[in-house]
Amino acid sequence: MMNKIQIVAGIGEILRKEDDFLITSHFAPDGDNIGSCAGMYHALTSIGKKAVIVNEDGFVERFRYLFGKADLPFVKYSEKLKKKFGNVIILDTATFERIGKVKELIKKDACIINIDHHPANTNFGTVNLVDEQAASAAQIVFSLLEKNNFPMDKKISNALLSGLLSDTGGLRFANTDKRALKDSLRMLKYGSDIAELNDRIFMRLSYDETVKVNRIVSETQLFRKEKIAITYNDQQNDPLIENEPVLMALSSIEEAEIAVFIRKTDKDRYKLSLRSKGGFDVNKFSSKWGGGGHRNASGIRFEGTYEKLLKDLIGDLKRTALEYYA
Ligand SMILES: [Mn+2]
Q: What DSSP character marks residue 67? A: G
Task: Please identify, among 151, 169, 202, the residue that sits at the C-terminal boundary of a domain.
Answer: 202
Do 221 and 190 sit in the same domain of this protein?
A: no
Residue 252 domain boundaries:
208-325
How remote is the CA of residue 121 from the centroid of ligand 1, in Å? 12
Q: How far is the CA of 117 from the centre of ligand 1 (A)?
A: 7
Cα separation, 208 vs 230, in Å, equals 22
Per the structure, the count of domains in the chain is 2
**Do 146 and 12 share a structural domain?**
yes
Q: How far is the CA of 291 from the centre of ligand 1 (A)?
A: 15
Residues 32 and 160 in one domain: yes
Q: Cβ distance 324 to 280 under 8 Å?
A: yes
pLDDT tens-digit profile of 109-120? 999 999 999 999
Q: Which amino acid is at 169?
A: G
Q: What is the CATH number of the domain that holds 264?
A: 3.10.310.30
Distance 120 CA to ligand 1 centre (A): 12
Q: How confident is the model at residue 269 (pLDDT cuts 50, 70, 90)?
A: very high
Q: What is the 170 CA–ligand 1 centroid distance (Å)?
A: 13
Question: What is the reported pLDDT for 211?
Answer: 97
Whole-Å CA distances, 79 to 73, 103, 105, 107: 18, 11, 10, 15
Q: What is the pLDDT of residue 26?
A: 96
Residues 151 and 216 in one domain: no
Same domain? 155 vs 77: yes
Report the separation in Å between the CA atom of 250 and the middle of ligand 1, taken as the mean of its atom positions: 20
Confidence (pTM) = 0.92
Contact 53, 23 (CB under 8 A): yes
Note whether 20 and 81 are same-domain residues: yes
190 and 290, same domain (yes or no): no
Degrees (nearest 5) of the Cα angle 20, 24, 27? Answer: 155
Q: Which helix (H) or strand (E) holds 305?
A: none
215 in the same domain as 197? no
